Amino acid sequence: MLWLLFILIGIVAGAFGSLLGLGGGIILVPALLYLTPLLLGNNAITPQSAVGTSLMLIIITAFSSTLSYAKRKLIDYQSVLWFFIGSAPGAVIGAYLTRFFNKTSFSIYDGLFMILMVFMLFIRKKLSQKNIHWKTIKTYTDEAGDIHTYGYSKIFAVVVALILGILSSLFGIGGGSLLMPVLLVLFRFPPHIATATSMCLIFFSSIVGSISHIVYGNVIWKLVLTTAPGAWLGGKLGAALSRRFTGNGLETLLRYALLLIALRMLWEGIM
C-alpha cells in the first residue's frame, strides 16, 4: 500500500506544480520530510535527501508538462535559454549549501522566502503601473485575442536566474515558487506563458541540481522509482487543467497556494 500513497503524492504534486508552473517541489519536499519518517522510520530521510529526491521527481513532472505545453506553443524558448544560463550554476551552488541546514532552519527559511514571493504577487497590480523599459520586448496574443507585452534585460535576467537557481536547489522547490512571481511581477509575463516557460526551465535546471545531489548522495532512489509514475501523470494532468483557467484565475490560485504552503512550513519549523 505504501507505493500507492507515494504515487498519489506524485500525482497531486505534479498536477499542482504543472498547473501553476511551480514544479511540484513545494508539495514533494514537505510530503517526503513528514510522511516518510512515519512510514519508514524516524531516520529514513533528511532535509538534504528530501531535496535531492524531490528534484529527481521534478525532472519527470517538468518533462511531462513541457511536452504538453510545447504542443500548445506556450513556451518562450529564448527566455528559457537566458534564465538557464544563470540558473544552472545556481543549482550547483544551492545543492552544496544544503549541507549547512537542519530540519528546523530549512522549514523556516523556506516559509519566509515563499511569503516574500506571495507579497510580490499581491502588489503586482501596483508594480505593473510603473513603466519599465526592458531591452528585450515581446508580445503574446491569447486565445481571447488580447495582446500582452512583456520583456527583460538579458544580463539582469541571468543574474536573477542565478539567485533563483541557488534558492531552488537549496530548498528543493524546482525554482517555480520563486520564478513565477518574478516572471509575473518583474517581467510581466502573461500567466499562461509564464507557467509553460517556468516548467521548461525547471526541467533543465532540475537536471543540473539533481546531478549535484546525486554526487552528494542526497537521492533516495526507492522513493524516486515509487513516486515517478504519479509525477509523470500529474505533469500531464496539470497542463491539461491549465486550459480551464484564465490568466487571472491562475495568478489568484498561485497566490493563495504559496501562502498556505509558506504558513505550513513556518509552523512546522517553529513547532
- Mean pLDDT score, 127-155: 78
Q: 241 or 24: which carries more pLDDT confidence?
A: 241
DSSP secondary structure letters along 170-199: HHTSTTHHHHHHIIIIIS---HHHHHHHHH
pTM for the model: 0.82
- Mean pLDDT score, 129-141: 75
Name the pLDDT band for 254 (thresholds 50, 70, 90). Answer: confident
Look at residue 55 in the predicted model and tell me its pLDDT: 86
Name the pLDDT band for 23 (thresholds 50, 70, 90). Answer: confident
Maximum alpha-carbon separation in the chain: 55
190 has a pLDDT exceeding 80:
yes
60 has a pLDDT exceeding 80:
yes
173 has a pLDDT exceeding 60:
no
Taking a C-beta distance cutoff of 8 angstroms, is the pair 262, 115 a contact?
yes
Q: What are the distances in angstroms from CA 250 to CA 119, 170, 174, 180, 193?
A: 16, 26, 19, 11, 11
Q: Residue for cell digits 522566502?
A: 113
Q: Please, which residues bridge with residue 150 across strands?
A: 138
As a whole number of angstroms, the distance between CA 152 and CA 164 comes to 16
As a whole number of angstroms, the distance between CA 149 and CA 76 comes to 13
175 has a pLDDT exceeding 70:
no
66 has a pLDDT exceeding 90:
yes
Taking a C-beta distance cutoff of 8 angstroms, is the pair 39, 2 a contact?
yes
269 has a pLDDT exceeding 60:
yes
Q: 149 or 123: which carries more pLDDT confidence?
A: 149
* 180 grid coordinates: 513565477
Look at residue 57 in the predicted model and tell me its pLDDT: 92
**Which amino acid belongs to residue 194?**
A
**Percent of the chain as helix, strand, coil, to the nearest 5:** 80, 5, 20
Taking a C-beta distance cutoff of 8 angstroms, is the pair 18, 27 a contact?
no
Count CB-CB contacts under 10 A for residue 46.
18
* 112 grid coordinates: 519566509
Look at residue 22 in the predicted model and tell me its pLDDT: 80
As a whole number of angstroms, the distance between CA 142 and CA 124 comes to 20
